[in-house]
Structures are given as structure tokens and as C-alpha cells.
Amino acid sequence: MATTGVEMPDPEQQLLQKADGRLVEQAMSQLPVRFREILILRELEGYSYKQIADVMGLPMGTVMSTLSRARARFRDAAGDLLKKHGSSQMEGLAATGRACVGAGRREIRSTRSESERPST
């Protein structure tokens, strides 16, 4: 059997990724618009603090403090959703050794290719 060199995730891994994606979307939808925007610019688009400050018209210190508050609110929202949806999803995540959602860039991936990302 010929292989393409691309490793296909198993069905369980695909299911967990879909559940993670839904959890991220739900948690993000609970955040104020400003928090969503700043998280998307930093975590998904890969913008530097300076780039975010320029785009949003904010001082860099405000960007850093807003990001900190946005990340905390995201973690709280994701944690509440995990509790609300029962321990079965948490057990599945723990069994696979996956990190907690909201742990930063490791869990939120951009759809942009590396060449499309802004330079830092």
C-alpha cells in the first residue's frame, strides 16, 4: 500500500479535535468582542503586541493587560463549558494526554500558512 507521507489522525483523535473546536468556538462566543478580537489577532493570526497595538489603536500596555484578561476569561468560559458538558469529555481528553483548552497557541491553530503570517 502506497503512503503519501501525511499521517492521518485516527477516528478518536478526529472526534476529540472536533469537540475541542466546538468548545473553543463556544467559549470565544461568550467573550466580549474586544477580547475575541485581541485573542484572534494574537493567538490565531500571530500578530506581535506592537502589531495589535497599531491595528487596534491602543497603547502596548493596554494590549498586554487586555490579552491577560481575555485569556483568563477564555479559560474560565472553557472550564465552565467542560463542567457543564459532564466529565465524559474531560475523561476523554485526559485519557489522550491532551492539554487543557486555553493553554495558548498549542491548542488554537491558525488556518494561515507560515508564509501568510505577519513578521514579528
Instruction: Report yes or no on 52 lying in a domain.
Output: yes
Secondary structure of 61-79 as H, E, C letters: HHHHHHHHHHHHHHHHHHH
Domain with 86 in it: 25-102
Predicted confidence (pLDDT) per residue in 34-59, tens digit = 999 999 999 999 999 999 999 999 99
Q: Give the pLDDT confidence score for residue 21 in this predicted structure.
A: 85
Bigger pLDDT: 103 or 24? 24
Question: Is residue 114 in some structural domain?
Answer: no
- Whether 73 is in a domain gets the answer yes
Average pLDDT of the residues in 102-113: 41
pLDDT tier for residue 4 given thresholds of 50, 70 and 90: low
Asked if residue 109 is part of any domain, the answer here is no
| Domains held by the chain: number | 1
Domain annotation covers residue 32: yes
34, part of any domain: yes
- Domain of 53, CATH number, reads 1.10.10.10
Taking the C-alpha atoms of residue 102 and residue 79, their distance in angstroms, rounded to an integer, is: 9
Q: Looking at the domain assignment, is residue 88 inside a domain?
A: yes
pLDDT tens for each residue of 61-87: 999 999 999 999 999 999 999 888 755
Q: Is residue 90 part of a domain?
A: yes
Q: Which residues have C-beta within 8 Å of that of residue 56, sequence separation ≥ 6? A: 37, 38, 41, 63
Tell me what pLDDT residue 98 has: 45
